[in-house]
Amino acid sequence: MRMPHEPESVARLREPTEDAPWRVLLSGCMAGLPCGVDGTDYGFGGVMAPFFDSPRVVACPFCPEDAGLGTPRTWPDIHDGDGFDVLDGKARVLDPDGADLTEGMVAGGEAMVRFAREQRVDFAILLDMSGACGTQVVSDGSRFVEERGYRQGVGVAAACLLRAGVPVVSQRDFRTLEALKARLDPDHVPDPDARDHHETDWYRDYFGSSP
């Protein structure tokens, strides 16, 4: 389930405690791992650190692109669909030069599912717009064209997780993250103005509607 589109899913999560904290699968770059295409964390390291300040939650970082393609690597973007289409053989993952990276991306997504099961994660926080970890938006073809296009949908690893029953949310889904923080800390008052990515003006202006 994509948690931003099923708000009731937050309430269905088990109660986190210090003895049995939520175990949250986290895109490796957002944990500061040097797993980006260029061997950096893209500057995302620590972006989710405040969420993990509570002793009632622990991060389980993993990078599916590193697992399936290695680091460094060329940029993998989905062509003609989203992650579900890739898994169903209807779309491919290509780099900017047209090299086919589909097999490695699927292998990385499957490795992420195995890791999630080993770690007994409760849900995942993933980097949106990634060809692997996107949960709301992915590039519509190569990101290096003159005018980058976007598509509603999920990345390859996110699709693997969803089919395995792992709930996902992105770092841009602020309304859902606020609700999760309230579950971690009963004194936390969610920001009433927080919005998830599909509720933003950019998303609605670009796509014309929510999914």
In this prediction, residue 188 carries a pLDDT of 95
Q: Which residues of the chain have pLDDT under 70?
A: 210-211
Our CA angle for 36, 61, 143, nearest 5°, is 30
The helix-helix angle for 102-119 and 156-163 (nearest 10°) equals: 40
132 DSSP 8-state letter: T
Locate 128 and state its tokens.
């949106």
Instruction: Name 160's Cβ contacts closer than 8 Å, sequence gap at least 6.
Output: 64, 83, 87, 106, 109, 110, 112, 113
Q: Is 171 helix (H, G, I), strand (E, B) or coil?
A: coil
Question: pLDDT value at position 210?
Answer: 66
Task: Name residue 140's amino acid.
Answer: D
pLDDT digits (tens, 9 = 90+) for 126-166: 999 999 999 999 999 999 999 999 999 999 999 999 999 99
Question: Where do runs of H (alpha helix) occur along 120-173?
Answer: 156-163
d(C-alpha 124, C-alpha 88), whole Å: 22
Q: Are 75 and 143 in contact (CB under 8 A)?
A: yes
The C-alpha atoms of residue 19 and residue 13 are separated, in whole angstroms, by 16
For the entire predicted model, the pTM comes to 0.96
pLDDT at 160: 98
Bridge partners for 23 per DSSP: 58
Whether 55 and 17 have beta carbons less than 8 Å apart is answered as no
* Strand 77-79 to 57-62 pairing: unpaired
pLDDT of residue 209: 74
Q: Rounded distance, CA 26 to CA 123, Å?
A: 9
Amino acid code (one letter) for 79:
H
Element (H, E) at 22: strand 22-27
Torsion of CA 159, 162, 166, 172, to 10 degrees: 70
